[in-house]
Amino acid sequence: MNEITNIGDWFAWFFGVENLKSVFIYNNTEPLMFTGFFFWAFFGVVLLAYSIVHKKRGLRNAFLFFASLFFYYKTSGLFVSILLFSTLSDYIIGKQIFKTRKDRGKQIWVALSVIINLFVLCYFKYAYFFTDSFNAFFHTNHEVFNHFAQWTNEFSNSHFEVDKILLPVGISFYTFQTISYSVDIYRKEIKPVNNILDFGFYVSFFPQLVAGPIVRAADFIPQLYKPYNLTKYNFGLALFWILKGLTKKVIIGDYIAVNFIDRIFDNPTMFTGFENLMALYGYSLQVYADFSGYTDIAIGVALLMGFSLPTNFNSPYKAKNVGEFWKRWHISLSSWLKDYLYIPLGGNRGGSIGTWIALAFIVAFIVMLSGKMIVLYGFIWLALLCSVLAIFVKRFRAWLITNINVLITMLIGGLWHGASWQFVIWGGLNGLGLVVYKLWRKISPYEKFNNFLVIVLKVFITFNFITFTRIWFRAETMETTWQIIEQIGNSFSPEVIGEVLYSYSNVFTMMLIGFVIHWLPTKVKDWYRETFIKLPLAVKIIISAITVFSVYQAMSSELQAFIYFQF
């Protein structure tokens, strides 16, 4: 770039055509993320315009809808058209559900919403899986073809690759969100939104669009019609959540990932069993810091605009059992699966027609995943065995009726994350963990005791179980998974523990700080949050400046995407 000698030249460069293009045109190497400078510049412009239009409700909602569309375009390119399609289809279907008088008609419209949303989700998320499975079963050589890219090229004269299907960021989140909208109208819990711009704003609200939390229409839509109100307390709370989220993500999560965890998982056999074990513990901290950090920032950003998002994490590693863990971790997804899958299937009351349909779907998925008919035969024999036991053994029948929907829900929760054996096993293990705990609490001599040592033991066992299942969640292949397990079991090398601790002293110090903060008593956390909120504005600004400076000093050379962007 030529030397800029005066202010006029600087303005000419800054407002040059190429620079304006980079601001408004999607660049897949520079997605719009909370940890990037561009996002905060974008948010600053949004807040400035919002301060002008916030008193006019209709204009306010429309403005935030279009701002959210721009945010998603900068994050995921022309996949914004998929978001618009989901918005339009569910807006129309929601109206039809409400207008239709007969229950059968309402059910047809709800089913149409579910089918359309799941078809779009499956097309982008599972196309490679279905193609590979079909080829494996029928010995064909079909390749994935992106019809969406072809239609886009024909419509806009673009040049997208048609032999690749990329996953739109956040599609799993907003798909579940629009499904819940249609179902809630059917259940008469809400009425449909009259203005499509208001509905579009609900679906696409940019703070939570790409990684949740999944927002229920019944909780969010009433906020669309309330006047903007930001109290001094809420401003301090919003600032606290944003700073807390940035610190979690960058200073803790990204630091231990880049400097330790990623190295181990990339090549576990190059490291001792102790290092592999520490990487597992580190990943449990990283995935929490990363995902809850995103949620914290989303809650804070939304609060500055006068909107409340639901709590998505509640110190999950304080859980005393697996059931409690799933009430504290990714709460919006766990509650969604409970309300829209587990309970409709029959809950703990027993199986239903939906149970057997869901079970058939899971079996078909796993059989296709294996690519081998012998797996199907294995399931048939297992079904026959379970049927015989259920007929002749009363206790087994009661156990099966009570727990089958739990296992199905957790397996589908695993498949929601991706079509691989890794996620099937991860979901299955968590399902078994829930079932085993339900059996254990009936005979456990410690279940009714809540003294400190018993609580520590319960938390320790639960945390280690969850960490163990994360091997399948984090490792990219089954080979990597077994390498990690083998290294921990056969090459622990206790003699090098001191050397490893010294070599990675900064990483382990950061891990220790992260876990200590996580396990602090709730009263302590409430105290320092409230203390920050009550500080004078000038002190808040100083603390914010120090925190932001620290965050960007700790940031690696390349922005680290949030883990749940891939889902």
Residue 48 identity (one-letter amino acid): L
Using omega within 30 degrees of 0 as the cis cutoff, is the peptide bond preceding 227 cis? Answer: no
DSSP assignment of 309-348 equals -----S-GGG-SSHHHHHHHSSHHHHHHHIIIIIHHHTGG
Cβ neighbours of residue 258 closer than 8 Å, sequence gap 6 or more:
556, 560
| CA 498-277-556 angle, 5° bins | 85
As a whole number of Å, the end-to-end CA separation of the chain is 40
The distance between the two most distant Cα atoms of the chain, rounded to a whole number of Å, is: 90
Q: Helical H runs in 143-215? A: 147-156, 171-186, 196-204
Q: How far apart are CA 89 and CA 120, in angstroms?
A: 12
Cβ neighbours of residue 19 closer than 8 Å, sequence gap 6 or more:
13
101 three-state secondary structure: coil
Token digits for 234? 């809420």
Residue 146 identity (one-letter amino acid): N
Q: How far apart are CA 476 and CA 425, in angstroms?
A: 13
Token digits for 239? 């600032």
CA atoms 368, 369, 375, 376: torsion sign: negative
Task: Tell me which of 54, 159, 330, 417 is the catalytic residue.
Answer: 417
Cβ neighbours of residue 89 closer than 8 Å, sequence gap 6 or more:
113, 116
Q: How far apart are CA 141 and CA 201, in angstroms?
A: 43
- Please classify residue 368 by burial: count the beta carbons closer than 10 Å to its beta carbon, then call 0-12 exposed, 13-18 middle and 19+ buried: buried
Q: How far apart are CA 535 and CA 307, in angstroms?
A: 23
487, 475 in Cβ contact below 8 A?
no
DSSP code, position 562: P
Q: Is position 330 annotated as part of the catalytic site?
A: no
103, 188 in Cβ contact below 8 A?
no
273-304 vs 478-490: helix axis angle to the nearest 10? 130
Chain centroid, CA 214 distance in Å: 9
List residues with catalytic annotation.
417
